[in-house]
Amino acid sequence: MRLTRVLVLCTGNSARSQMAEGWLRQLGGGAFEVASAGTQPTERVNPLAVKAMAEVGIDISARHPKHLERYLREHWDYVITVCDRANEECPFFPGGGKRIHWSFDDPAAAVGDEEARLQVFRRVRDEIRDRFASFIEQTRQRANAKRGGPGDAGRGEFAFRPEPDRSLAPPLD
């Protein structure tokens, strides 16, 4: 089965896109080939991004910022921008399939002591996790529908309707 290729872009490729890449690798179950890049990459991944991700068991310490030019000649099923500036600087991506833009606050712009800034990184980390978990689920459902999997009504569209979780419902007497 072919992996779904996803490129995540931001400006510096030092925090949001690195966290998104980490989440997609972790939550994607091997179904995604993922990379991240920046329009103006910094010299290193932000240490608070590394720390925030380590807290949830994802190691991005060996990652390094990359320039998006590295990926221009490749085909991507999805090109996802995670900051407004990258979205503005990259309105068209030649190797991209579907373009998606999700704006997340820049945690690197947080002020205060280290703990206050780390709190911002944690919040953004969790927002990214939630958005990408939803993306992964929707991508899987679309793939199932295209293959004629669960819930396909022959429309070639997103038709999967999971059964409600009744495990928390009170017993019927």
> CATH number for the domain including 30?
3.40.50.2300
For residue 156, pLDDT over 90 is answered with no
Average pLDDT on 90-104 reads: 80
Average pLDDT on 27-36 reads: 95
The answer to whether residue 164 is domain-embedded is no
Residue 77 pLDDT: 94
Check 60, 68, 83, 108 and give the catalytic one: 83
Tokens of 45: 């991944």
Sorting pLDDT into bands at 50, 70 and 90, what band is 171?
Answer: very low
The answer to whether residue 163 is domain-embedded is no
Sorting pLDDT into bands at 50, 70 and 90, what band is 23?
Answer: very high
**Of residues 23, 9, 85, 84, the one with CA closest to residue 52:** 23
Burial 79-113 (b: 16+ CB within 10 A, else e): bbbbbebbbeebeebeebeebebbebebbbebeee
Give, for 98, the enclosing helix (H) or strand (E).
strand 96-101
The answer to whether residue 28 is domain-embedded is yes
The answer to whether residue 152 is domain-embedded is no
Residue 91 pLDDT: 59
Q: How many domains does the chain have?
A: 1
Tell me if residue 90 is catalytic.
yes
Tell me if residue 15 is catalytic.
no
The answer to whether residue 167 is domain-embedded is no
Residue 165 pLDDT: 33
The answer to whether residue 24 is domain-embedded is yes
For residue 111, pLDDT over 70 is answered with yes
The answer to whether residue 173 is domain-embedded is no
Quickly tell me which residue has 């990184």 as its tokens: 121
Sorting pLDDT into bands at 50, 70 and 90, what band is 95?
Answer: low
Angle (deg, nearest 10), helices 47-54 and 114-146: 60
| Rounded Cα distance, 98 and 77, in Å | 6
The answer to whether residue 94 is domain-embedded is yes
Check 7, 8, 10, 50 and give the catalytic one: 10
Sorting pLDDT into bands at 50, 70 and 90, what band is 164?
Answer: very low
Average pLDDT on 51-78 reads: 95
Residue 96 pLDDT: 65
Tell me if residue 75 is catalytic.
no
Sorting pLDDT into bands at 50, 70 and 90, what band is 97?
Answer: confident
Range of the structural domain that residue 74 is part of: 4-146
Check 7, 49, 68, 90 and give the catalytic one: 90
